[in-house]
Amino acid sequence: MIEIWPGDPYPLGATYDGAGTNFALFTEAADRVELCLFDEDGKESRVPFTECEGFIWHGYLPGVGPGQRYGYRVHGPYDPARGLRCNPHKLLLDPYAKAIEGGVTWNKALYDGDMPNLEDSAPFMPRSIVINPFFGWGHDRPPATPYHDTVIYEAHVRGLTIANPKIPERIRGSYAALGHPEIIDHLTKLGVTALELMPVHQFVTDQHLEEKGLTNYWGYNTSGYFAPHNRYSSQGQRGGQVLEFKAMVRNLHEAGIEVILDVVYNHTAEGNHLGPTLGLKGIDNPTYYRLVDGDPQHYMDTTGTGNSLFMRSPQVLQMIMDSLRYWVMEMHVDGFRFDLAATLARELHEVDRLSAFFDLVQQDPVLSQVKLIAEPWDVGPGGYQVGNFPARWTEWNGKYRDTIRDLWRGEPATLPEFGSRFTGSGDLYQSDSRRPVASVNFVTCHDGFTLHDLVSYNEKHNEANGEDNRDGTDDNRSWDAGTEALREQQKRNFLTTLFLSQGVPMLSHGDELGRTQQGNNNGYCQDNELTWVDWSDVRNKWLLLEFTQRLAKLRREHPVFRRRRFNYDMAWLTPSGEEMTVADWNVGYAKSLAVYLNGKAITEPDRRGRPIVDDSFLVLFNAHHDTIRFTIPKDYGEMWLTEIDTAMPIMLDTRVKRAGERLQVPGRSMRVLRGV
């Protein structure tokens, strides 16, 4: 018989102390809870909990330590009409598991119906794992890069590294590969200060995808909010993924690169009422999920995935906050990007920017100090909330993406909004004391076309996903430029606009190498060469890579592109060199303008309180299809040098330009001039 002591109700989860392990599980629905231990051969031993305080069932097992496989069985009412779905025939993952071994093997035993399914699900379920929390962090310190100095690189652990021939084959596609010098060197040369990782919480591939030979590649289908996804480990799964993740973070920190996690606290992998029972559904369904008022058999779904976590529940809020703090304090990550963040703000029906979740984060001494990035929309009513998140939050600025795409594909009447987006979207953020860095600017991300495909396809081509090309957005705002030369020039236009805009630039992994998904704008289920970064001919792509590195260097060296406040000394100019009037802004067919940025009059001080002095710049935009002659204005400086010319992948023009001189800017190109 396995010895069990009373233990403690806190902390939740499995906590090893060097002599044994304390187990604690919250469930208000349970009549009885069994801890299930599994040996090396998969044999199960059940240990009933005898202690319950405040609906937390707990016990301490002396001698049980790291590597122990476990799960739970929860005895209680099965009454879907009341939202209750307890079934002890279902092995359940610990919501607080720090590591998970294996994956789900899809079988009808995982599913319940109107009546509880009496088939045992244990043979088809992954196992929670007890971990050793001790790790030699050494002198690890968070880089704590200020937002205005931040350059974000959104990446997929596996997709970025799996095909890199300079990384040892045994670690490709893993956390260890992300921390390898080859990847770190690539990121450093791009000026990247923050690596934003697509979901690394343990996740599940849906049954319907597996049956089609596909996979949940992106990972937005969480089954464990405390566990690093085990498939991204090169060290085996019995806790090795935790040590490997920590080592990756330590290596990136040594290079001055922060780690930001894309987190999915809006829904889980258990789907709707027809979905599998993997954890929360069988532990305490009405506590964890938002059920339909008057019909608790069914789930509210503002995420498009079948369920939504119940953000009014203290236990849900505690689980999310505990998870976030764990990743900061124990795993040393530097921030989070919240998927479908509008769902987190839903307490009743509408989106409430002052919901309990945001209040909790705001007052938390740990979480209020890390980077917090919202994807400010979901699929529910009123879910598009760009510009409406609280102070200290930044947002993926979808309006920036749409406007910049529209400008460079030649849409009419885009200049007024383009002016706002390029200068930090003050119309969205300035009125409530937020700053330009509230805007995370991006042209592409994991969701949608890659940069290469954005300039190469007019329509999506998602046939490989098996949904008859119905999946993925039709609002791509893309344009097939027709020739390779013009496509490359358009890429340079997008990248230059991105790096020189006020706010926080975000680059999508592989765009600097011309990554293509062959027109697929929804690669969520494609874990293959279609979505992986192709490193095989980097030498053939060096022009775009070198151009991107040059842009990052220009931004890094000139604070005029990294302003912290909205009180810019700047001027918008017509191609003739005159200041723009209201009438000029509203000429619908106009697609060309210039902006003067005065580096001599930056009013904010540096971090030591000293005044910032920089060079001044003149940026010429020509989104028209034909060459436009720009006049260099006489009132803003006498002599100018070309720093960037998107019509030329390699800088050749070193001639000094003088005030009053007329300068030809080819169609669909930019020229960046620095005052000397």
Catalytic residues: 339, 375
Cα separation, 356 vs 603, in Å, equals: 37
Cα separation, 417 vs 672, in Å, equals: 21
Task: Give Cα 369 to chain centroid, integer Å.
Answer: 18
Task: Decide: helix, strand or coil at residue 245.
Answer: helix
Give how far Cα 172 sits from Cα of 180, 203, 232, 239, 492, Å: 10, 20, 9, 19, 30
Q: Beta strand pairing status for 44-48 and 592-597?
A: unpaired
Cα separation, 73 vs 45, in Å, equals: 12
End-to-end CA distance of the chain: 82
Q: Number of helices (H) and strands (E), helices first, in the chain?
A: 16, 31
Q: Are 642 and 651 in contact (CB under 8 A)?
A: yes
Q: Between the CA atoms of 173, 174, 175 and 176, what dihedral angle is there, to the nearest 10 degrees? A: -100
Which amino acid does the sequence have at 326? Y
Give how far Cα 107 sits from Cα of 110, 275, 306, 470, Å: 6, 12, 19, 28
Q: Are 29 and 283 in contact (CB under 8 A)?
A: yes
Which runs of E-coded beta strand occur in 49-142?
A: 51-53, 56-62, 69-75, 78-79, 84-85, 99-101, 127-129
Q: Are 512 and 533 in contact (CB under 8 A)?
A: no
Q: What is the 3-state secondary structure (H, E, C) of 615-668?
A: CCEEEEEECCCCCEEEECCCCCCCEEEEEEECCCCCCCCCCCEECCCEEEECCC
Which amino acid does the sequence have at 241? Q
Cis before 181? omega within 30: no
Cα separation, 198 vs 437, in Å, equals: 21
> Which H/E stretch holds residue 283?
helix 280-288
